[in-house]
Amino acid sequence: MPDNVSSSGRIWFNDANFEKGKNYLITASSGQGKSSFLSFIFGERTDYTGNIYFDGREIKTLKKTEWQDIRKKNISYVFQGLRLFSGLTALENIQLKNKITDYKSQDEIDCLIEQSGLQDKRNEKAGRMSFGQQQRISIIRALCQPFDFILLDEPFSHLDEQNIETMTAIISGELNRRNAGMLLCSLGHGYLFDYHEKYVI
């Protein structure tokens, strides 16, 4: 856990404000609602009390088409369950996301795959890859779209220290280039990111 991060207390039953360009660490014990919290922000679940606002708009008032636009342009998500298509190759999973906005060139995608150490897995079906390899593919896929915020749900749980360092550097570089914000949910590990604030669920 980083020891130089400002602690902002608990999430539930309190106000929290997440600003573009800042990194937030959200920790909790297993089963305490980390994934639920991100699902609320992403608009996938609405079974919560209170209010969530995006750019000043209460998200429960947003239409389906408005959510589609937000998820295409403003919020990217690395799901804990990854949600890769097991019958598609690593590259096809990435390209499927990238084709929605053509945000990355093929050369840029190839560079991300190589930086992640997965160049020999690019044409292998995701279902035959280890969970750690799938995590790296899922992260690359999430970077292949515009976003103001990226949501990361236990993104490094099956990675060793070297791969965590590599993927942290890749994500941090993208955040800096886009002036984007990050919400990372973790069981307690802060990894290697620089955070502006931390919360507890």
Q: In what helix (H) or strand (E) does residue 7 lie, and over which residues does it extend? A: strand 6-10
User: What pLDDT digit, counting tens, does each position of 100-127 carry?
Assistant: 999 999 999 999 999 999 999 999 999 9
The answer to whether residue 137 is domain-embedded is yes
pLDDT at 157 over 60: yes
The answer to whether residue 200 is domain-embedded is no
CA proximity to 48, closest of 7, 73, 12, 84? 12
Six-digit token string for 95: 């390209």
Domain hosting residue 67, numbered range: 25-187
- Residue 5's pLDDT is 53
- Residue 142's pLDDT is 98
The answer to whether residue 19 is domain-embedded is no
The answer to whether residue 1 is domain-embedded is no
Kindly give the pairing relationship between strand 53-54 and strand 57-58.
antiparallel
pLDDT at 26 over 70: yes
Six-digit token string for 90: 């690593």
- Residue 102's pLDDT is 98
User: What pLDDT digit, counting tens, does each position of 50-73 carry?
Assistant: 999 999 999 999 999 999 999 999
pTM beyond 0.75, yes or no = yes
- The CATH number given to whatever domain includes residue 68 is 3.40.50.300
Number of domains the chain is built from:
1
pLDDT > 70: percent of the chain? 97
